[in-house]
Amino acid sequence: MRLQGKVAIVTGARKGIGEAVALALAREGADLVMVSRSIQSDSELVREIEKMGRRVFVKRVDVGDQSQVEEMVEDTLRNFGRVDVLFNNAGIYKPAMLWNMTAEQWDDVIRINLTGAFYCLQAVAKPMMKQKSGSIINVTSSAGLIGTIGQVNYTAAKGGIYALTKSAAKELAKYGIRVNTIAPMADTDMTAKIAHDPKLSEKYLERMPMGRFGQPEEIGPAVVFFASDESSYITGQTLCIDGGMVML
């Protein structure tokens, strides 16, 4: 098992990509801190991971609240004694055209998707610096790399993640901490309106050489790779997992 003995925090862990990644990390031996605003400690997902023999700690956290994020990391250290991996995945989606977007829609998405990601990164960086090791995997998107219509808040936040990853990677490399990001395009609740609408999906599929939307389970292996020592000489990079829609 590639992650045996490692402790991983997964934000946005209740469903979709977060759920799939939590399962993938657990299968490779990682103990988990599963974070969401609405996750239940007795959920089917938690029970499935515990049956693998993994230790699981469940924490309800609003990542846009810095004090809650700091408490999350403190609880992780109290329960496990270390933190090796952060999958920085929590995010929300509030679309609107530029001229109709409210201040609340803008602020809510930036607070969770960008500021929240920064809070989580900053909070885990401190114990990782003491350990002289760690892997942080952020989540951007094709929207943050090339832009899209009706999502200026989301694209701004995800574009910020792209830049945040590069700067954090440069600052933390000397401490043995790697920071990378993935840009997935998968069929989840967040993309359901696109993936299951014939007209919308056709427009997206025309831009995907592989001609289909990915599944959350196809994201997990890439995160395991970045979490493991197999990527020990990789930092500051963005991996697009989108069927070829964006080619950097």
The verdict on whether 175 is a catalytic residue reads no
Q: Specify the pLDDT at position 144.
A: 87
Look at residue 140 and tell me if it is in a domain. Answer: yes
Is residue 179 within 8 A of residue 235, CB to CB? The reply is yes
Look at residue 200 and tell me if it is in a domain. Answer: no
Look at residue 206 and tell me if it is in a domain. Answer: no
Q: Specify the pLDDT at position 197.
A: 66
Look at residue 202 and tell me if it is in a domain. Answer: no
Q: Specify the pLDDT at position 148.
A: 85
Total domains in the chain come to: 1
Domain that residue 56 falls in: 7-188+216-241
Q: Specify the pLDDT at position 185.
A: 84
Segment 81-122, tens digit of pLDDT: 999 999 999 999 898 999 999 999 999 999 999 999 999 999
d(CA 11, CA 29): 18
Look at residue 168 and tell me if it is in a domain. Answer: yes
Among all chains, which residue has been given the structure tokens 């997964």?
10
Q: Which residues of the chain have pLDDT under 70?
A: 188-200
Is residue 161 within 8 A of residue 180, CB to CB? The reply is no
Report helix, strand or coil for 10. strand
Look at residue 2 and tell me if it is in a domain. Answer: no
Segment 116-146, tens digit of pLDDT: 999 999 999 999 999 999 999 999 998 888 8
CATH assignment at residue 143: 3.40.50.720
Look at residue 157 and tell me if it is in a domain. Answer: yes
Q: How far, CA to CA in Å, does 181 sit from each of 16, 91, 234?
A: 17, 14, 11
Q: Which of 119, 154, 162, 175 is an active site residue?
A: 154
Look at residue 246 and tell me if it is in a domain. Answer: no
Q: Specify the pLDDT at position 39.
A: 84
Helices (H) and strands (E) in the chain, counts: 10, 7
pTM of the model: 0.94
